[in-house]
Structure 1
């Protein structure tokens, strides 16, 4: 039987909010191809579903924790608590381009931060009805089954997730060097995948579906929940150089076996 751990009231609230948002996202997804799509910036899209999902999640969290801060990527339902209050981050649809073009791979993401420390995270895939979650010190889970990253699979047998960045997204190194690293990894790994949702792709490292994932220019809204999920599953997460995630949002999540090999390529 899979190992199951009791869920705290905080995590239960976050999970309920993610399921609520995911249900709204599924209803909007049925109208894909007819929905209005706005560009926040070049190749950075938002739909009415993003706003609706975020507003519903924010309302659910605010009812349960009225004194805590809420910060959503689309600013729907944002509220400020006391300066030292815990803070929820919401990415209502991580993978909006997939969503808007009718590709059924996107996630609803909720993170809970105390200061700069990520203490809880939920990533929900509404199309597959899969729920990844973790609370600091209590392990990572997928639908109630404990997650542990795969050990021992080297780069020659690894599935590596990566971003194919849009112009201006790579901020941590010259774009030409990033492309060189991509090509070198392609020459060594078993295969590479560009799935279109950073949150789900990072969580896939915890589930041993990916041996690593990396992307530059991410926001904490995108990565915070999944970072905790990977760490609680025994994986390694940081910047491309193996240190802390920088302000540029360069994130590298990997198994302990593959992580040093990738850091060596990025820092060569």
Structure 2
């Protein structure tokens, strides 16, 4: 829908602002790797936050407010922990004309342990639809950028999803979010393993989606995610020619928490694996 493409707001490019902001936040986060001081648990011992997460969110928020002071901002570290808190926060801001959705460090557990797979994720929603998405991996200096209707890019070059036609040829990714270590998810995981070439579980939904957009993996699924985990990545995948739904095949919305994302070719075959998931 061309009328929803947001190229410029008050003479400023939101994509340029997001790129600049992600780069600055990422460099600061990188400088703190291995030197955080305060580690706290939110909902569980697997759901972590440090002062670096909080500082990065403040930095991002301040920079966006400098350019767009009237825009709403939904950041992970400003929301009550747990799925209900996330749901209420999104409902409160859902009807804002412009809504920035921020995950200052997607992959905090990786950051804490020094495992090099985490990123800054910044998405922009305009009138309820994803308009821009930026994911920055500071350790590899990789900036993934998408704008609705204009494609997806990495370091200025357009990227596309992979070409695998069958699950058996596919390198997949998934994860185990803190709020869902359920037997159902584990069972489904073990059922899918023999059907695919292999599976990666690297601990950052946003970066997995960016890798899917870049053709590095063929598909990704994960239950019980929050909007800040996936908003920017969903647009990247869509603009790179991929497909994103829930596990039943319904189109992605900001309220979708159970994600299935693929290169499009293998999507229906993947969804068949979840046919009885909610029974």
The TM-score with structure 2 as length reference comes to 0.85
Q: How many residues align?
A: 253
**Could you tell me whether the CA contact under 8 Å between 1:88 and 1:112 is conserved in 2?**
yes
Corresponding position of 1:207: 214
- Post-superposition offset of 1:179: 2.7
Runs of 4+ in 1 over 3 A off after TM superposition: 245-248
2:141 to 129, 141, 163: 129
Q: What pairs up with 1:108-127 in 2 under 5 angstroms?
A: 108-127=120-139
Corresponding position of 1:17: 21
- Post-superposition offset of 1:116: 2.2
Question: Which runs of 5 or more residues in structure 2 are unaligned?
Answer: 1-6, 80-88
- Post-superposition offset of 1:143: 1.0
SS in 2 for 1:29: coil
2:41 to 26, 39, 42: 39
Q: What pairs up with 1:156-171 in 2 under 5 angstroms?
A: 156-166=168-178, 168-169=179-180
Q: Summarize deviations over 1:110-143 as a string: whole Å, max 9, x none.
A: 0101232110000000111001110000001111
Corresponding position of 2:66: 63
Question: Which runs of 5 or more residues in structure 1 are unaligned?
Answer: 1-6
- Post-superposition offset of 1:70: 1.4
> Which has the higher mean CA deviation after the structures are superposed, 256-265 or 11-20?
256-265
Distance 2:75 2:102 in 1: 4
Distance 1:182 1:156 in 2: 15
Distance 1:218 1:261 in 2: 22
Distance 2:202 2:96 in 1: 36
> Which has the higher mean CA deviation after the structures are superposed, 19-28 or 246-255?
246-255
**Could you tell me whether the CA contact under 8 Å between 2:227 and 2:256 is conserved in 1?**
no
1:267 and 2:275 aligned: yes
1:93 to 94, 101, 105: 105
**Could you tell me whether the CA contact under 8 Å between 2:177 and 2:225 is conserved in 1?**
no
Distance 1:221 1:165 in 2: 13
Distance 1:139 1:248 in 2: 23
Distance 1:90 1:192 in 2: 27
Corresponding position of 1:73: 76
The TM-score with structure 1 as length reference comes to 0.88
Distance 2:31 2:213 in 1: 29
- Post-superposition offset of 1:65: 0.7
Distance 1:224 1:134 in 2: 11
